[in-house]
Structure formats: structure tokens, C-alpha cells
Structure 1
Amino acid sequence: MSGTFSHERAVVIGAGVAGTAAAGALAHEGASVVITEARPRAQLGDLHAVESLGVRILAGGHDRSHLDGATLIVTSPGIPPSADVRRWARERDI
């Protein structure tokens, strides 16, 4: 771990393959990472590997509060630009 992102609180939007890979990479580089996902936890795959890196999973819908304290946003490719959670991030200049 290089600590490149040790001062970042990253929010990853989407818990699919791309989102979990990004979250894992950020956590490995020292970021505090939260994944926010619209689908319920029961519909997600195995997230134990990413959780073992300290990544927090917030499933079952996006909420404005999921962005509190965020310094960095990573959006999975499947999240449309019109999604509320992306709009909320833009409103906060994240």
C-alpha cells in the first residue's frame, strides 16, 4: 500500500464488478471507502473480499447522506448521468 489516497473518503456508486474493483483499489491505497448500491444486499454477489479491506457497503438505495464527507466519487459505468446520486454529487462539487 502506497497511501496515495490516505486522505480521501471515497464513495463508489455501484457494487458491480467495476465498482467493487475500484473500491478495493482505493482501499488498498489507503482511502476510506463506501460503496452505495441501489439493489438490496441479498441481490449482490459475494462482497467479503472488498469488505475485508474495510470497505463499507450501503445497499438498498442511494441516499444523499451516503455522500457526507466524500472527497472523491467513483461512478460505475452502468450508473447513468441522470441518476439522483450523481446529481447530488455534482451539487456538492464532488
Structure 2
Amino acid sequence: MTDQSTTDESERGHAEAAFAVDDDAERCPYCGRPFASEHLHALHLGEEHPDALTEAEAERYAAADDRESDELFKFHIKVLAVLTLIAFVFLYSYTFVWT
């Protein structure tokens, strides 16, 4: 059991050492994890510590979650457009080039 815990600790230490974190980075008040932006910090709080949120943190999480949903929707639309374009190119090339 000690081998596993030692391995876990060394992996965590190695992962933390691989990334430099600004001293002024926003940190989670519950677990101390640093975040590059307020948006990521709010998402972390809502996902990892939902029972401990204050009202202000819950509002920031709801706004960040809405923004994340909007960005994901835009990404899906872009992927759909690219897939449609690829299908059109294959259909066009099959219809007019290979026949």
C-alpha cells in the first residue's frame, strides 16, 4: 500500500513541477488548485465543490456554465459545417470527376 501512495505522491509532484503557475493566479479556496482565468475557476467550483458554494459563486458558476454551453454549441455548428463541406466535396468529385 505504501508503494502505491508513494507513486501517487511522486506523480502529483511531477505533474505540479511540469507547469509554472503565476503567484497571482486565482486559486480554489477549498482545494487550492490554481486557475488561469476566472471562467475556469467558476466552472471548477460548480463542478467540484457544489455543496460549498456561496450565492455569488453559484451565480458565477451559472454564468460560466451558460457561456460554456454557448461555446460548445458554436463548436458543434462549426464541426457540422466542416463535415457537410467534406461530404459535398466527395459527392461533387464522385459525380463530376470519376463518372
Which bracket does the TM-score occupy, shorter chain normalised? under 0.3
Higher helix share: 2
Higher strand share: 1
Bigger relative contact order, structure 1 or 2 (CA pairs below 8 A, ≥6 apart): 1
| Greater gyration radius | 2
Give the TM-score, by structure 1 length: 0.23
Give the TM-score, by structure 2 length: 0.23
